[in-house]
Amino acid sequence: LRAPWAGLDWQDLHALVGGDAERTVWELITDEHRLARLSAAGRAGLVRLRDRLAPELRPQPDESLRTRVERLWLALGGPAPLTAAHEFENVYRYLDTLAALESGGTIPDITTLEEMLDIERVSSSADSRVQVMTMHRAKGLQFEHVMLYGLGRTPARTERRVLSWFDMPEGRGAVEKVISPVGPRAEVEADPIHRFIERSLAARESEESARLLYVACTRARQSLHLVGHVGVAKDGSTLRSPASSSLLAMLWPAVRPAYEAAFEPVTGDAVDEPDPFRQPLLKRHAKPWHMAKPEPLPGVDLPPSALPDKARVDYDWVGAGARFAGTVLHRWLQLASSGRVALGGLDAQALAEQSRCWLLEAGVAPDRTGPIIERVVAAVEATKRDPRGRWLLAGEGVSEYALTGVYQGRIESVVLDRVRIDEDGTHWIVDYKTGSHEGGGRDAFLAAEVERYAPQLARYRALYGAVCPAPVRCALYYPLLGAFVEVPARPGDPDHD
């Protein structure tokens, strides 16, 4: 309700929920008598919120809770206040956490969600210059400005030990242990040795705290800000001293005048001083927010009728095994071209084991993975041996490049296996093929493949040329044949000279 899509100030919040501890916030929002108590701006914001929230509260068994929350966030203008990529990443971390916990369109236990969000790491701006750390971590570091908070707090009490001892140094670097007697608590606490050990340990802890405080205060180069609190006498006339075990007590002789000056009542001469108490910043959408329209696709604007009725399955003559082999090979070549895997460091066994895992994840029966793996391993090994294959993977470029645009009056979406930029600036669009050819007639086979895939590569060339002005050439690469075959542009292609 404080967020920009509603933007209620504290007065409106109190008017909405004050004095009613039984009803939910949604019930209060739908109560017209409650809404009448709010300011005009607050009432308008709540009405907009209510109108957008109502459809998402109806049962929708075919949609997940995550989908409904994301849609509502977009409808309310959630993206509007965000200005950096890491802020959007945090939003979708929350949605992913929501999706991981939801069951049947709801969250069975909201406490579990809160616990998971508490431990979820969020992104921060790359240029953030604020670091939060303990005094221990600050040792040896320097900062322009240091702020120490909670100095008036009392540290947790050390647990009372059953057996206490104290190391007493003696000459030549040796130590002797002084151990308190063991017995009933009342007798032990009355024992002078036990009291001596406890006082010595308490003094040691106090000295260690003072040392840490000194370290923290001396980390600052330009400014040091100390924040702590003290109590007030029952009659409200004087300040109390800080707790003796607090860090503020160590600083009290130096900072006491500042506390006493702040405690003095404001006199007539100080009425013009700025009020140290400020209302928290309130952000509110100036007008109903609408999502911006996406950028137009490369090409001309088309009516909805230009959209394809359904996805078209190309080359359905390819067998299932060949398709799975192509999928796994594409993954290996993508990893190699992006530098995530060094193919030269993988032997055939490692290739086979990882390929088997990917095939099983894709649903291939275990007894059918053998021939597919043999084909994949052979293709990868052939690429490693082929100079043209090494050139294709090692140079500048991009792999698995997705494009959507207009081609011959229709909207087309494609994924380019590899775009390799050569030394003279030419962009090669290369399509990987796992096909092989037994026997003679290799050249005739490759010529037939060029004819078969020419329309596909013409589409790739046109879509890529719409977003990149560089010269473009297309080719097919057959690792099992060691063949790199250019597919030239033809008369009638959109970019043919």
12-36: per-residue pLDDT in tens?
999 999 989 899 999 999 999 999 9
Question: Buried (b) or exposed (e) across 154-166, using 16+ Cβ within 10 A?
Answer: eeeeeeeeeebeb
pLDDT digits (tens, 9 = 90+) for 289-337: 777 777 776 655 555 555 554 444 443 334 567 788 888 888 888 888 8
Question: By C-alpha distance, which of 7, 10, 1 is closest to 284?
Answer: 7
Residues 438, 483 contacting (CB under 8 angstroms): no
The pLDDT assigned to 468 comes to 87
**Do the strands 143-148 and 483-486 form a parallel or antiparallel pair, or are they unpaired?**
unpaired
- Read off the pTM: 0.42
As a whole number of angstroms, the distance between CA 23 and CA 30 comes to 11
Phi and psi at residue 386, to the nearest 5°: -85, 120
Q: For the residues 84-102, what does the mean pLDDT come to?
A: 89
Q: Please provide the average confidence, as pLDDT, over all residues in the chain.
A: 82
The pLDDT assigned to 489 comes to 82
Question: By C-alpha distance, which of 318, 307, 151 is closest to 243?
Answer: 151
For residue 39, name the pLDDT band (cuts at 50, 70, 90): very high
Residues 411, 306 contacting (CB under 8 angstroms): yes
Residues 42, 12 contacting (CB under 8 angstroms): yes
As a whole number of angstroms, the distance between CA 20 and CA 12 comes to 14
* Contacting residues for 176 by C-beta, under 8 A, at least 6 apart: 167, 168, 170
**Do the strands 220-226 and 397-407 form a parallel or antiparallel pair, or are they unpaired?**
unpaired
Residues 382, 435 contacting (CB under 8 angstroms): no
